[in-house]
Amino acid sequence: MATMRKNGNRLPLHYRVIGSVTGMSYTTLFTIWMTLAAGFAVIYALLATFAPSEAPAALLDLSPLDQLGNAVYFSIITATSTGYGDIVPLGFSKTLASIQSISSLFIFAVLVGKLVSQQQEIAVKQMHRLTYEDVLHNTREGFFIIRKDFDHTIGKVERREPLTMDDWEDLATAYKQGQNLFLEIPEFYSPEDDALYTVDEQREQLLMEAVQRTLHRINHMIDSFSIAEINWTAHPESVRELKELLKVAGHVLPRWHEYSPYQKRESFDVMLRLRERAINRLDQALPR
């Protein structure tokens, strides 16, 4: 048996044939179906002329034009398996009608299957897009929420109100949430050509603004600590989570820049500078 190689395995010839047929376009499949119908119609007409005993009965004793017209009619109802019974195949035409019916139904089934598969694929892509857009919205909302936590801390510092242990724990939680939000960003992109969803330019810009504002707010908060002479590095859990947040941002931002199809270099440079500034302020504040 003839075979072919696919993904390192040897597969039978019928897999190759089925694969080639299912890979055809709608136009090609319909053309093949029509060609089969026309070809068999010609064969039926020729049988009626040169081998009457092997031809469909109703094609006999007709003018050539009527004979061809009836042959086309018989071929089409055979291809569609309608079978009205007004034209009955005899002799060898029975075998031809069986072959035509099987081959035409196979082509028709492939055509219908491709149509159904395409609709399913469209539905899956739409659901995937809606899901990712919802996750993207939640990610932006998440950055907004942790900025509100930073604003609360900044407000207390600027009003010279003492920060409680709950405040420091809230900060640590906000930093941890920020880590998770950064890790979600690459999921909106894919380096693969067949990616189901890639964030559009407008939504990407909104996400960039959310990240820039968050990093800027972290720097503002560190500046507020310094102005108020608050020893914010004396709270190890908060410092640890902040360091991890900045570390995660350092891993994510270059990947984000690589995956983004819009290549807004200036926006990424701003985010990287804000991250570096926060790291430098953290290093300066930590005891040597």
Same domain, 135 and 232: yes
Same domain, 189 and 84: no
**Whether pLDDT at 42 is above 50:** yes
Average pLDDT in the 176-204 region?
80
Q: Is residue 96 situated within a structural domain?
A: no
Confidence band, pLDDT 50/70/90 cuts, at residue 114: confident
User: What is the per-residue pLDDT for 179?
Assistant: 97
Q: Is residue 163 situated within a structural domain?
A: yes
Over the stretch 223-280, which tens digit does the pLDDT of each residue have? 999 999 999 999 999 999 999 999 999 999 999 998 888 867 889 999 999 999 999 9
Phi/psi at 86 (nearest 5 deg)? -80, -20
Same domain, 152 and 227: yes
Q: How many residues does the chain have?
A: 288
Same domain, 74 and 31: yes
Determine the Cα–Cα distance for residues 25 and 112; give it in Å rounded to an integer: 12
Q: Is residue 103 situated within a structural domain?
A: no
Average pLDDT in the 111-123 region?
80
Residue 26 sits in which domain range? 3-90
- Nearest-5° Cα angle at 178, 172 to 180: 110
Average pLDDT in the 162-175 region?
95
- String of b and e for 44-74 (b: at least 16 CB within 10 Å)? bbebbeeeeebbbbbbeeeeeeebbebbbbb
Query: Residue 86: exposed, middle, or buried by beta-carbon count in 10 A (0-12, 13-18, 19+)?
Result: exposed
CB 79 within 8 A of CB 104: yes
Q: Is residue 104 situated within a structural domain?
A: no
User: What is the per-residue pLDDT for 201?
Assistant: 87
Q: Which of 71, 90, 109 is the last residue of a domain?
A: 90
SS3 63: coil
Average pLDDT in the 131-154 region?
92
Q: Is residue 171 situated within a structural domain?
A: yes
Looking at per-residue confidence, does 49 or 217 come out higher? 217
Same domain, 83 and 125: no
Looking at per-residue confidence, does 162 or 131 come out higher? 162
CATH of the domain at 125: 1.25.10
